[in-house]
């Protein structure tokens, strides 16, 4: 494991100044209310059963309150009077090599920042906020797992997280346009690039052009059927992802957000439309203005909201008998629990399918697929990722569904692996793929 060695050698090389830097960043990330959470846990244990890591492997290290404890012990030692005078009495511990290693294991290795612990916490401790502050501190010390950082670096260097070149992107868009014209029989079906003044700037996950363009074709087909005025950016600002949400470096996250803001300004679009992606929606809709420290001069919507409006307003007609296999819906944490997009996808699916069943639990109480929080990018934690995803696999099995719809490409990749590992024998699709299948062509 060369990468593991890389983190280990970085831990060995840490200087006192690095630890101070980490502490400073940690302190700077916490608002007053969050700092008070560090002394608020009543050890009720409700978070344990709410966490998919702990549900699938009940070790102490997987209890969210235990992860929190690691962080609060350092906070107490460095930022409270009692912690400085009598550390042993208040459970205060120094921030040293072993503690930094334990933080990495807890906040990168055993947490997908899904937030389920937080909504089930007796006193509402915002655990993901605190874990993100700890990730930021580790980042300031050069302790982000290298493959997660590489994904951020790709966005910073190439404008998208898979280092797709402009030429490759444009050629793929043109190819999908040809495919869409074949599929619809309409030579006027387009994937418009750089259409100045279009109403919507649509953004996608680089995974789509790189490896899975059928979802892009499906989204384009829906826009075609709704006669929408939309465009894609040819260069910079077509990628909706932002792994700055996961390495928790707000400056880098802000720079990546700016790719979208600049594309909106360049093309003069009214609304930034985020394709089916959990973290991308959360990052662009909720976090972006915070990172940039200013509000956007445009609105941000999920494509799920648009599809919901098309169905409601009769702009697209659907034939649910095109999708008769039992279907269930996965709720991506960043889209639903953190993002607030909850009912739009359900209303659409009920119109596009004949046999829709909810997983239990669902909506804000959904379980993470196990691939969130950057887990999919951190190869070293693969076994835990697959094991913790067992919770989702059980839910899918219990639903009896043959098709799992997931409005998030990150979740889709994890679900594809769960499908294989747990032999679920399901198909995994985006909402747009279901809608595209059910579309009744306009007269």
Q: Which residues bind other proteins (CB under 8 A)?
A: 1-2, 147, 150-151, 154, 161-164, 168, 171-172, 175, 179, 205-207, 209-214, 241, 376-377, 379-383, 409-410, 413, 416-417, 420
State the minimum distance, in angstroms, from the CB of residue 404 to other proteins: 15
Nearer to other proteins, 43 or 420 (CB): 420
CA gap 376, 242 in Å, rounded: 14
- In the complex, the smallest distance separating the C-beta of residue 279 from other proteins, rounded to whole angstroms, is 9
Shortest Å distance, C-beta 312 to other proteins: 30
Nearer to other proteins, 213 or 370 (CB): 213
175 — phi, psi (to 5°)? -65, -45
Minimum CB separation from other proteins for residue 421, in Å?
Answer: 11
Of 185, 91, 40, 111, the residue nearest 375 (C-alpha): 111
Gap between the Cα atoms of 280 and 408, Å rounded: 9
Dihedral sign of CA atoms 283, 289, 293, 298 in order:
positive
**Least separation in angstroms between CB 209 and other proteins:** 7
Contact (CB, 8 A) for 239 and 206: yes
Q: Is the dihedral of CA 62, 63, 66, 71 positive or negative?
A: positive
**What's the closest the beta carbon of residue 104 comes to other proteins, in angstroms?**
16
Q: For residues 227 and 382, which CB has a smaller minimum distance to other proteins in the complex?
A: 382
* Least gap, CB of 246 to other proteins (angstroms): 11
Structure tokens at 311: 């169905």
Nearest distance, CB of residue 45 and other proteins, angstroms: 31
Q: How far is the CB of 124 from other proteins (least distance, A)?
A: 30
Rounded distance between C-alpha atoms, residue 201 and residue 75, angstroms: 43
Instruction: Answer yes or no: are the C-beta atoms of 241 and 279 closer than 8 Å.
Output: yes
Q: Which is nearer to other proteins, 102 or 164 (CB)?
A: 164
Distances from the Cα of 16 to the Cα of 23, 97, 203, 371, angstroms = 11, 10, 43, 34
The residue among 150 and 193 lying less far from other proteins, judged by its C-beta, is: 150
CB atoms within 10 A of CB 122: 13
304, with CB counted inside 10 A (0-12, 13-18, 19+), is buried
Which residue, 110 or 346, is less far from other proteins as judged by CB?
110
**Cβ closest to other proteins, residue 5 vs residue 313:** 5
* Shortest Å, Cβ 99 to other proteins: 25
In the complex with other proteins, which residue's Cβ is closer, 1 or 17? Answer: 1
| Cβ nearer to other proteins, comparing 20 with 172 | 172
Q: Looking at beta carbons only, is 83 or 374 nearer to other proteins?
A: 374
For residue 381, count other CB atoms closer than 10 A to its CB. Answer: 21
Backbone angles phi, psi at 132, to 5 degrees: -70, -40
Reported as type and span, the H/E element at residue 439 is strand 439-440
Closer to other proteins by Cβ: residue 8 or 24: 8
Q: Whole-angstrom Cα distance, residue 349 to residue 332?
A: 16
> Is the backbone of residue 423 left (phi > 0), alpha (psi -120 to 50) or beta?
left
The full DSSP string for 167-186 is: HHHHHHHHHHHHHHHHHH--
Q: Bridge partners of 440?
A: 317
Q: Are residues 312 and 346 in contact, defined by beta-carbon separation less than 8 angstroms?
A: no
Candidates 4, 132, 99, 115; CA nearest to 51 is 115
Rounded to a whole number of angstroms, the minimum distance from the CB of residue 113 to other proteins is: 15
């Amino acid at each position: 494991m060369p990468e593991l060695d890389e983190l280990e050698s970085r831990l060995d090389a840490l200087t006192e100044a690095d630890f101070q830097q980490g502490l400073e960043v940690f302190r700077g990330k916490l608002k007053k209310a969050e700092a008070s959470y560090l002394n608020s846990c009543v050890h009720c244990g409700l978070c344990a059963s709410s966490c998919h890591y702990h549900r699938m492997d009940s070790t102490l290290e997987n209890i969210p309150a235990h992860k929190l404890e690691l962080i609060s012990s350092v906070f107490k030692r460095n930022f409270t009077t009692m912690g400085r005078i009598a550390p042993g009495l208040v459970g205060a511990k120094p921030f040293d090599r072993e503690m930094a290693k334990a933080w990495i294991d807890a906040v990168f290795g055993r947490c997908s920042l899904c937030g389920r612990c937080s909504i089930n916490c007796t006193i509402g401790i915002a655990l993901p906020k605190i874990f993100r502050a700890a990730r930021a501190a580790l980042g300031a010390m050069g302790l982000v797992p290298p493959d997660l950082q590489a994904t951020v670096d790709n966005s910073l260097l190439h404008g998208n997280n898979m280092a797709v070149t402009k030429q490759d992107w444009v050629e793929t868009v043109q190819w999908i346009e040809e495919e869409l014209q074949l599929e619809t029989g309409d030579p006027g079906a387009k994937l418009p690039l750089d259409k100045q003044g279009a109403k919507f700037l649509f953004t996608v996950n680089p995974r789509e052009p790189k490896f899975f363009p059928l979802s892009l074709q499906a989204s384009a087909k829906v826009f075609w059927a709704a006669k929408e005025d939309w465009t894609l950016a040819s260069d910079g600002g077509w990628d909706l992802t932002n792994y700055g949400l996961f390495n928790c470096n707000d400056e880098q996250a802000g720079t990546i957000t700016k790719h979208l803001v600049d594309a909106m300004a360049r093309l003069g679009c009214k609304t930034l439309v985020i394709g089916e992606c959990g973290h991308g929606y959360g990052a662009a809709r909720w976090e972006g203005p915070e990172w940039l420290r200013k509000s956007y001069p445009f609105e941000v919507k999920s494509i799920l909201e648009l599809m919901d409006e098309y169905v409601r307003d009769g702009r697209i007609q659907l034939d649910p008998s095109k999708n008769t296999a039992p279907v269930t819906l996965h709720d991506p944490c960043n889209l639903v629990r953190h993002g607030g997009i909850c009912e739009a996808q359900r209303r659409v699916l009920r119109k596009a399918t004949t046999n829709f069943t909810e997983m239990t639990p669902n909506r804000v109480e959904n379980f993470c697929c196990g691939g969130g929080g950057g887990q999919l990018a951190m190869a070293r934690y693969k076994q835990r990722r697959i094991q913790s995803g067992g919770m989702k696999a059980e839910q899918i099995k219990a639903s009896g569904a043959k098709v799992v719809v997931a409005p998030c490409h990150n979740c889709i990749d994890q679900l594809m692996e769960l499908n294989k590992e747990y032999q679920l024998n399901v198909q995994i699709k985006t909402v747009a793929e279901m809608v595209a299948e059910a579309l009744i062509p306009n007269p």
